[in-house]
Amino acid sequence: MPQPNKAALDFLLTRRSRPARTLGLPAPDRAALEPILTAALRTPDHGKLEPWRLIVLEPAALHRLARLITERGLALRYDDIQIEKSRSAFAESPLAVAVIESPVKADKVPEIEQTYSAGAVCLACLNAALATGWGANWLTGWPAHDRDFGRLGLGLDDHERVAGFIHIGTETSVPPERPRPDPKTRIEWVST
């Protein structure tokens, strides 16, 4: 018989991201962040290719990236609201982890599977942060998809892209529960 981990299942059934704007100081220090990042890297990885890497963004880096978001947003002709929403996510964040998809050429592992693995790193990092008691949120937004932002701000190579930014800090308020998918409408059982 299986040996259930009730605490882990209860966590997964009740986990809730915290809005990035509600995250404040303190943020995890390097010692507190190490088990979170280690857990994030224990993700499904077909072929053991490790097609991802992590960049920890501390306050000075976040402020530099917030300035770059303003520059890039103006260059891309985004409106003030779009620029400010993305800029403030970085300027007001106590800490963020950029999960970078860095695909590896492999005959047996299609690139899409490597993309899924990078997404799994994002979720594992988010859940590990929440499980250790921090507030956390997984964001993307237009800066994650802007090649120049990735190259100039994060030093990404041409084959790399941002899978997500995991913002981590102390939650300052607990959001109300939001509607969740109805399993009856999202699950199909096939027995023949």
CATH code at position 113: 3.40.109.10
Residue 152 lies in a domain: yes
- Enumerate residues 6+ apart whose C-beta is below 8 A from 17: 126, 130, 136, 137, 138
Q: What is the DSSP letter of 176?
A: P
Residue 183 lies in a domain: no
pLDDT band at 169 (very low <50, low <70, confident <90, very high): very high
Binding residues for FMN: 15-17, 42, 46, 138-140
Q: What is the pLDDT of residues 102-158, one digit of tens each?
A: 999 999 999 999 999 999 999 999 999 999 999 999 999 999 999 999 999 999 999
Percentage above 70 pLDDT, the chain: 100
Residue 4 lies in a domain: no
**Distance between CA atoms of 124 and 154, rounded to whole angstroms?**
21
Residue 1 lies in a domain: no
For the record, the structure tokens of 79 come out as 């409106």
For the record, the structure tokens of 170 come out as 């102390």
Residue 9 lies in a domain: no
pLDDT of 176 higher than 90: no
Residue 185 lies in a domain: no
For the record, the structure tokens of 7 come out as 């605490």
| Triad 178, 179, 184: Cα angle to 5° | 155
pLDDT at site 190: 96
Per-chain mean pLDDT for the chain: 97
Q: What is the DSSP letter of 159?
A: T
Binding residues: 15-17, 42, 46, 138-140
Residue 182 lies in a domain: no
- Enumerate residues 6+ apart whose C-beta is below 8 A from 26: 94, 169, 170
Residue span of the structural domain in which 159 resides: 19-172
**8 Å CB contact between 94 and 168:** yes
Which has the closest alpha carbon to 136: 60, 22, 34?
A: 22
Task: Count structural domains, the chain.
Answer: 1
